[in-house]
């Protein structure tokens, strides 16, 4: 079996963990901003709130969504930058066959 599959070292990917967590948090904040825009528009159609409050909520929610999704994208770019280089293939690498039924030497 390929040694690369057996030699998985978790510490190689530890640097990418925090940017991935930050990306997830920023994407959730963006979802909250987009939800605020939708709620404001729906309440405006019902006539529950005034026009200035609706416009303020729509602009604020749009700004929050745009900025947070941009920050989430930047965090993903940082996570890609901290990912280690792929392990080069060795001459002993070969595909793993089901239950060792087909052995190639």
The Cα 72–Cα 19 span in angstroms is 9
Each residue's pLDDT tens digit, 89-100: 555 555 555 555
Supply the pTM of this predicted model: 0.61
Residue 99: inside a domain: no
Report yes or no: 75 and 20 within 8 Å, Cβ to Cβ.
yes
Residue 95: inside a domain: no
Could you tell me the residue range of the domain that residue 34 belongs to? Answer: 17-84
Each residue's pLDDT tens digit, 33-48: 999 999 999 998 888 7
The Cα 85–Cα 87 span in angstroms is 6
Helix ranges (H only) for the chain are: 3-6, 17-46, 51-82
Each residue's pLDDT tens digit, 2-26: 454 444 555 555 566 788 888 899 9
Residue 10: inside a domain: no
Q: Is the dihedral of CA 45, 49, 53, 57 positive or negative?
A: negative
pLDDT above 90 for 103 = no
Q: For the chain, what is the domain count?
A: 1
Report yes or no: 54 and 40 within 8 Å, Cβ to Cβ.
yes
């Amino acid at each position: 079996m390929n040694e690369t599959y057996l030699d998985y070292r978790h510490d190689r990917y530890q640097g990418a963990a925090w940017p991935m967590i930050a990306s997830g948090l920023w994407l959730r904040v963006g979802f909250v901003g987009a939800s605020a825009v939708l709620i404001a528009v729906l309440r405006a159609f019902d006539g529950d709130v005034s026009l200035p409050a609706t416009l303020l909520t729509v602009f604020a929610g749009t700004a929050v969504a745009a900025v947070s999704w941009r920050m989430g994208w930047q965090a993903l770019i940082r996570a890609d930058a901290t990912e280690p280089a792929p392990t080069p293939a060795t001459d002993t690498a070969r595909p793993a066959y089901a239950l060792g039924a087909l052995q190639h030497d």
